[in-house]
Homo-oligomer: A and B are copies of this chain.
Amino acid sequence: MAKPPKENSPITEHLAYLLAQANREINRQLETRLSKEGVPVEQWRILKVLSDGNGHSMGELAEAVLLNHPTLTKMIDRMVSDALVYRVQDPKDRRKVLMFVSDRGKALSRRLNSLAVSQEEHIVESYGDKSTNELKRLLENLIGSAN
């Protein structure tokens, strides 16, 4: 039974540590899959978010893909060079830049999604459908409560 960790209890009883460890492992698995397309996980996230076809501002996008502003700017620079996405100045608010995915980006996004889905299926296989869903639910609640 997990109890709230005391000062001398092992680090493996801390939620913060367990989250970091689980995240690291799952992220590595995903990274390995995506490396088939030579793309880092963050670019998958970016393309996936942009794939709704709407323009997203940099701030919005940074929040959604879990990157801070300057890091995102530089990653987007690369993706623009690779013609995966493009910038449009927001006509409603000219401070903002709206990001869109190109056709090339859409095609890549489809291939990446297929890899990501297959990874998740692999997790469900070895970890179980019930546990996976339960874990997702708990994570959503945690994220909601942590804001």
- Name A residues whose Cβ lies closer than 8 Å to a Cβ of B: 1-8, 11-27, 29-30, 41, 45, 48-49, 51, 64, 66, 110, 113-114, 116-117, 119-121, 123-124, 126-127, 129, 131-143, 145-147
User: Chain B contacts of A45 at CB under 8 A?
Assistant: 11, 17
Docked-complex contact A137 and B15, CB < 8 angstroms: no
- Nearest opposing residue in chain B for A18, CB measure: B139
User: Chain B contacts of A23 at CB under 8 A?
Assistant: 19-20, 22-23
A143 CA to B49 CA in the complex, in Å?
A: 27
Docked-complex contact B4 and A16, CB < 8 angstroms: no
A147 CA to B21 CA in the complex, in Å?
A: 11
Contact of A123 among B1, B15, B49, B119 (CB under 8 A): B15
Docked-complex contact A131 and B141, CB < 8 angstroms: yes
Docked-complex contact B127 and A145, CB < 8 angstroms: yes
Looking at chain A's contact residues, is the secondary structure mostly helix, strand, loop, or mixed? helix
Docked-complex contact B145 and A21, CB < 8 angstroms: no
Q: Could you give 19 example pairs across A and B, Cβ below 8 Å?
A: A2-B133, A2-B137, A3-B133, A4-B121, A4-B129, A5-B116, A7-B113, A15-B123, A18-B136, A18-B140, A18-B143, A19-B19, A19-B139, A22-B139, A22-B146, A25-B142, A25-B147, A26-B146, A127-B141
Contact of A132 among B15, B121, B123, B134 (CB under 8 A): B15
User: Chain B contacts of A129 at CB under 8 A?
Assistant: 4
